[in-house]
Chain A
Amino acid sequence: MSHDNPQHRSAMSSIDTFTCVRCGLTVATFAPDGGRRDHCPSCLHSRHLVDHVEGGPSDCEGRMTPVSIAVLRTGDWMVIHRCVRCDELTSSPVRGDDNQLILMRMAVRPLAQPPFPLEAFGDL
């Protein structure tokens, strides 16, 4: 998700940064735990730069909002992003320095707005 030119990207990849399209934070491309990140750790928004269907770069480049949290069988958390421009869904792993308040808010949001009464589950 770097916007630098390609010859810089290979040589300076460890200090590569990108600017969040929503909050404007300058973010290091590599998280402290070594993984490459594709979303802002502060507001968790991303940018639609990779085409997940065909691979390679995407020509959409729209902003992607986080819509939900997925927990894999391994226990790892994934953030599901939705592109506000083309409605594409992508998933990316949560990094250690991601904003945990926003993660928690997304995790409890289904239970705050249940489509059916939850009182019956107390009797189970």
Chain B
Amino acid sequence: MTRRGPRRTGRGRPQRPKDVLHGPAGARGDAFRCVGCRLDVPLAAPGTAHRNHCPSCLVSLHVDRRIPGDRAAGCGGRMTVLSLSVRQDGEWTLIHHCLTCGELSANRIAGDDNALALIRLALRPLADARLPVRAMLTL
């Protein structure tokens, strides 16, 4: 069931390029500054063309609506990571939650995302000993 190795082989279409002006006053910058930890993040990321979150603290900014880089959302709020989802092909996807308007959005993880933060996120449901864990033990 687990698919290892190159994950992009089964994809039908390549990721569309994300063309956004990141610098001040519409200048074309090649980096953005994280609103959570103030890290300067380069736009080029291994494994994805659509980096939208800080690789260190996984915080994002609510500027895009549906298409990566469309800058259609007027909110501009901080988005914190809410949970982790797994696609059918085994790719991990972060679910971000906007603290200003409550909108949810999904984005694939990048190759240089903080592995410890990702694992902490993945272990969060398993960390509290609630009913589902007991249900598994009774099987």
Chain A residues with a Cβ under 8 A of chain B: 52-53, 67-71, 75, 77-78, 80, 82, 87, 89-91, 96, 100-101, 103-104, 107-113, 115-116, 118, 121, 124
CA distance A70 to B121 in the complex (A): 9
B-side contacts of A115, CB under 8 Å: 90-92, 109
Interface residue tally for chain B (C-beta within 8 Å): 36
Stretch at the interface among B13-21, B34-42, B53-61, B131-139: B131-139
B104 touches A89 (CB 8 A): yes
Main secondary structure of the interface of B (DSSP, over half): mixed
Interface centre among A91, A101, A115 (most CB of B within 10 A): A115
The reply to whether the CB of B45 lies closer than 8 angstroms to some CB of chain A is no
Q: List, in ascending order, chain B residues with CB within 8 A of A68's CB.
A: 83-86, 95
Establish whether residues B104 and A90, one from each chain, have CB atoms under 8 Å apart when the complex forms.
yes
B82 & A91 in contact (Cβ 8 Å cutoff)? yes
B126 is an interface residue with CB less than 8 A from chain A: yes
Contact: A80 with B104, CB < 8 Å?
yes
